[in-house]
Amino acid sequence: MWVIKFKDIDPDTGKISQEQVLAYSMNPLHADMICEALTLADFDQPNRVYFSLHNVDKNEDDKI
């Protein structure tokens, strides 16, 4: 499972002011596409970074 998140970075201090989960995806390509689309749509927020992380679930490991 891939977690799609964003974080806002303070340009003066470099500290993360907030970090939030936006969505989940089972497909890494879809997660990357969602991050790219959000970045393009939110171009007027230069201090916001969209990214995805692979989140290994215990139940997901049991299915393998």
**pTM for this entry:** 0.79
57 falls within a domain:
no
Residue 63 inside a domain? The answer is no
Is residue 59 a part of any domain in this protein?
Answer: no
Assess if residue 28 is contained within a domain.
yes
Which range marks the domain in which residue 15 is found?
A: 2-51
Q: Please give the tally of structural domains in the chain.
A: 1
Q: Give the confidence band of 64 by pLDDT, cuts at 50, 70, 90.
A: very low
- DSSP E strands in the chain: the ranges are 2-9, 16-25, 48-54
pLDDT at 55: 86
d(CA 3, CA 52): 5
Q: What's the confidence (pLDDT) of residue 41?
A: 95
